[in-house]
Amino acid sequence: MTAIVTVRDLRKRYGDIEAVRGISFDVLQGEVFGLLGPNGAGKTTTVEILEGLRKADGGDAIVDGIDVSKEPAKAKHRVGVQLQQSAFPENFTAKETVELFALCYGVTVDAMALLKEVDLADKAGQRQEKLSGGQRQRLSIATALVNKPRVLFLDEPTTGLDPQARRNLWELVRGIRQSGTTVFLTTHYMDEAEVLCDRVAVMDHGQIIAMDPPRALITALLGRGFSKPVIQQQANLEDVFLDLTGHELRED
Amino acid sequence: MRQALLLTLMYFRAYVRDRTAIFFSLVVPLMLLLIFGSLNLGAFGKVSLAVDDQANNAASQQFVSGLEKIDTLSITRESSDSAVAALKRTELDMLLVVPKDFAIAPTRAGQPVPTLTIYGNDARPQQVSVGESIVIEVITRLSFAVNQTAPVISLKQEDVQGVRLRYVDFLVPGILGVNVMQLAIFSVAFALVVDKRRGVLRRIMATPLKPSTFLVSQVVTRLIMATLQVLIMIAVSVFLFDVHPLGGILPLLLVALFGAVLFLTIGFALAGWAETENQVPAIAQLITLPQFFFSGVFFSKEAAPEIIRPITNLLPLTFLNDALREISVQGATLWDVRTQILGLLVWTAIGLALAVRFFRFDRF
């Protein structure tokens, strides 16, 4: 598999704080790649450099063959972006929001088809500010898909969502991956990374401290003699919650 | 170009949907115009004069009815006691006491004459002096008539055409100016600070859209709004207040748009500087409030204390209002108001420098 995102010795500093300290990694074409880490680890800075929103202090960031620091505008055409806080201009309907972003890329889209893809067709005429958190995250993904990106960046896409909305978003991400788009996501939910990601990189204090498929990392940990008290239960509280409240989306 | 146009249309559609924005850009300006236009603040008003006719004879009645014929006076008959009380409450401008021995008869030098007493309200010196002059004038005429002499000097009055300036004629250009200022500063500063804080601008900057295209759409949206605002206000002024801009509506609109561009640059600078929308009103008021009062909106800019007038004469809104007023009231052309337009352009350059300094896309 070929790399679609290549990062080499990437550095970024804000004043005294070294947010990213010379990290290197590849994201392979077609995979779901997860960048994990606690708050302040440098995930968002890394993603924003790749999205062309921030300038790196040093190192290379290549997306789909384009050096992001040299040709940010060109790189922006190749990627889809969902920022951590997905906010859109007010007084636009969901459909108009999609059209607005298509216009920003200079492309025309079938906004209704895109909204259908993210299960928002029935909300097309509603003002985006009236949508629920989960609906707005899905709208955010629709706007990130207007330019048929090669890589889709999702920065903490499920933060603040209820269990139903989270699972719904996971399905959406799986569908996007299946259509051939590479997905680069950051999260600090390990269960999310475990079910969604083909490979993950764990970042802390501006450095990557581990990188592998989730299963490999778990196996390696067990291999180092790790064990935790085994509790024999076939379900957890979330399973109970979903069993009681159902998988149906609760939004309106 | 096409992209900028479509983007402008999209943003304009969203702007029109925003009820708060419409309220502040159309309803409030109209309210200002209607309220101040109907107040007729510029008129001097009448001098209220109470007459205590203690003589109550033929002569005094002739004298008082002579006063009653004068439009400027609003005359009531009252006893001195109640009139003095009214004076103290500032409900009355003057009290004229006609003494019991009042008579209109030929006099000879050295002979005592009846003495009228005037009580004036200290709080309304202008009205009192006008009232006094009128009373004295009436007495003089009576004296001439009775003593069979003619005045040694006569006065002929002629009106100068076009100077018959009503308050509303003065007001309308000022209202146009101040509302263009408010619209340009507040609509940009509020909307963009909110968009900045919520990450909307950052999201848009993650697309390949050029910042300049985005800025053009924001500016043009507001200019369309300002044009609508100016045209609606002029229409109301023409049809409701019978104000006819002598210099034509187009020059008026053009100058208003010059002003709008100037204040938009300040709005962008403010939007760039402010961290949250809570900071916007404070700074925006700091910028607009002095101009509200010192730039000749509701009353002449000459009302400003003399010591600060060199500064108030250079305020952005002063240039805008002066230009609008000269066009509207005196029929000036754009060329006639070139000094004011130059003033606006200098301020626009300053505003632009501030906007470029503070409104930075790479910082969002």
Q: What CATH number does the domain containing B139 carry?
A: 3.40.1710.10
How confident is the model over B36-68, as pLDDT tens digits? 888 766 555 678 889 999 988 888 888 888 888
> Are the Cβ atoms of A88 and B11 closer than 8 angstroms?
no
* Angle between helix B279-294 and helix B249-273 axes, rounded to 10 deg: 140
Nearest Cα to A149, choosing from A109, A194, A120, A100?
Answer: A109
Residues B260 and B113 in one domain: no
Residue B152, in any domain of the structure: no
User: What are the structure tokens assigned to A112, written together?
Assistant: 């209704």
Q: How many domains does chain B have?
A: 2
User: What gap in Å lies between CA A110 and CA A99, rounded to an integer?
Assistant: 9
> Are the Cβ atoms of B15 and A91 closer than 8 angstroms?
yes
Residues of B in CB contact (< 8 Å) with A are 3, 6-7, 10-11, 13-15, 17-18, 194-195, 198-200, 202-209, 362
Residues B29 and B55 in one domain: no
> Are the Cβ atoms of A90 and B6 closer than 8 angstroms?
no
Pick the CATH number of A3-245 from 3.40.50.10790, 3.30.70.100, 3.40.640.10, 3.40.50.300: 3.40.50.300
Give B-chain residues touching A85 at CB under 8 angstroms: 198-199
How confident is the model over B176-200, as pLDDT tens digits? 999 999 999 999 999 999 999 999 9
Q: How many residues appear in chain A? A: 252
Q: Taking CA atoms, what residue in A is nearest to B19? A: A91
Q: Give me the tens of pLDDT residue by residue for chain A, a chain 252 residues long.
A: 799 999 999 999 998 999 999 999 999 999 999 999 888 899 999 999 999 999 999 999 999 999 999 999 999 999 999 998 778 999 999 999 999 999 999 999 999 999 999 999 999 999 999 999 889 999 999 999 999 999 999 999 988 888 888 998 999 999 999 999 999 999 989 999 999 999 999 999 999 999 999 999 999 988 888 888 877 778 888 888 888 888 787 765
Q: What was the pLDDT predicted at A10?
A: 96
Q: Taking CA atoms, what residue in A is nearest to B361? A: A53
User: What gap in Å lies between CA A167 and CA B238, rounded to an integer?
Assistant: 63
Give B-chain residues touching A84 at CB under 8 angstroms: 199
Q: What was the pLDDT predicted at B162?
A: 47
Q: How many residues appear in chain B? A: 364
User: What gap in Å lies between CA B364 and CA B362, rounded to an integer?
Assistant: 6
Q: Which of B3, B205, B207 sits opposite A101 (nearest CB)?
A: B207
Cα–Cα distances in Å, from A94 out to A88, A138, B224?
Answer: 10, 10, 25
Residues B178 and B109 in one domain: no
Residues B79 and B13 in one domain: no
Mutation pick from B195, B203, B209 vs chain A, by most beta carbons of A within 10 Å, is B203
With H, G, I as helix, E, B as strand and everything else as coil, classify residue B324: helix
Phi-psi region of A71 (alpha: psi -120 to 50; beta: other; left: phi over 0): beta
A86 close to B (CB below 8 A): yes
CA distance A86 to chain B (A): 7
Give A-chain residues touching B198 at CB under 8 angstroms: 85, 87
CA-based R_g, chain A, Å: 19
User: What are the structure tokens assigned to B224, written together?
Assistant: 């369309």
A104 close to B (CB below 8 A): yes
Give A-chain residues touching B194 at CB under 8 angstroms: 90
Residue B322, in any domain of the structure: yes
Give, as one character, the DSSP assignment of residue A93.
B
Give B-chain residues touching A104 at CB under 8 angstroms: 7, 204, 207-209
Strand partners, A32: A183
Q: Taking CA atoms, what residue in B is nearest to A147? A: B207
Q: Taking CA atoms, what residue in B is nearest to A144? A: B207
Q: Which of A51, A87, A99 sits opposite B200 (nearest CB)?
A: A87
Q: What was the pLDDT predicted at B41?
A: 60
Q: What was the pLDDT predicted at B146?
A: 78
Give A-chain residues touching B206 at CB under 8 angstroms: 51-53, 76, 81, 83
**Which residue range forms the structural domain that includes residue B270?**
2-40+166-363
Give A-chain residues touching B10 at CB under 8 angstroms: 92, 96, 99-100, 103
Q: Which of B200, B206, B209 sits opposite A89 (nearest CB)?
A: B200
Give A-chain residues touching B11 at CB under 8 angstroms: 89
Residues B90 and B225 in one domain: no
User: What gap in Å lies between CA A206 and CA A40, rounded to an integer?
Assistant: 8
Residues B246 and B355 in one domain: yes
Residues B81 and B184 in one domain: no
Q: Which of A73, A87, A89 sits opposite B14 (nearest CB)?
A: A89
Residue B228, in any domain of the structure: yes
- Measured torsion, CA atoms of residues B121, B125, B128, B134, in degrees rounded to the nearest 10: 170
Q: What was the pLDDT predicted at B320?
A: 96
Residues B95 and B13 in one domain: no
Residues B17 and B84 in one domain: no
Nearest Cα to B64, choosing from B128, B138, B120, B136?
Answer: B138
Please measure the distance between the N-terminal and C-terminal CA atoms of chain B and give it in whole angstroms: 25
Instruction: Say how many CA atoms lie within 13 Å of B306 toward its Cβ.
Output: 0
> Are the Cβ atoms of B3 and A106 closer than 8 angstroms?
yes
CA A17 to the chain's CA centroid:
25
Residue B246, in any domain of the structure: yes
Domain ranges (residues) in chain A: 3-245
Q: Are the C-beta atoms of B189 and B182 separated by less than 8 Å? A: no
Residues B234 and B328 in one domain: yes
Residue B153, in any domain of the structure: no
User: Could you give the maximum distance between any two Cα atoms of chain B, in Å?
Assistant: 100
User: What are the structure tokens assigned to A81, written together?
Assistant: 């972006």
Nearest Cα to A103, choosing from B21, B360, B279, B9?
Answer: B9
Give the strands of the sheet with A182-187, arranged side by side.
A79-82, A151-155, A182-187, A32-36, A199-204, A207-212
With H, G, I as helix, E, B as strand and everything else as coil, classify residue B195: helix
Q: Taking CA atoms, what residue in B is nearest to A93? A: B14
Q: In what helix (H) or strand (E) does residue B144 lie, and over which residues does it extend?
A: helix B125-147
> Are the Cβ atoms of A100 and B205 closer than 8 angstroms?
no
With H, G, I as helix, E, B as strand and everything else as coil, classify residue A183: strand
Task: Mark which residues 20-79 of A lie under 8 Å from B by CB.
Answer: 51-53, 55, 73-74, 76-77
Q: What was the pLDDT predicted at B305?
A: 82
How confident is the model over A29-61, as pLDDT tens digits? 999 999 998 888 999 999 999 999 999 999 999
Residues of chain B under the 50 pLDDT cut: 162-163
Q: Which of B84, B117, B147 is the last residue of a domain?
A: B147
> Are the Cβ atoms of A104 and B209 closer than 8 angstroms?
yes
* Angle at A154 (CA atoms; ends A153, A158), nearest 5 degrees: 175
Strand partners, A18: A13
> Are the Cβ atoms of A87 and B207 closer than 8 angstroms?
no
Q: How many CB pairs under 8 A join A and B?
A: 67
Q: Which of B147, B178, B197 is the last residue of a domain?
A: B147
CA distance B204 to chain A (A): 8
User: What are the structure tokens assigned to B326, written together?
Assistant: 């000269």
Complex ipTM: 0.89
Residues B22 and B72 in one domain: no
Residue B161, in any domain of the structure: no
Q: Which of B82, B116, B147 is the last residue of a domain?
A: B147
Residue B158, in any domain of the structure: no
User: What are the structure tokens assigned to B268, written together?
Assistant: 């962008």
- Measured torsion, CA atoms of residues B309, B314, B319, B325, in degrees rounded to the nearest 10: 10
Residues B83 and B221 in one domain: no
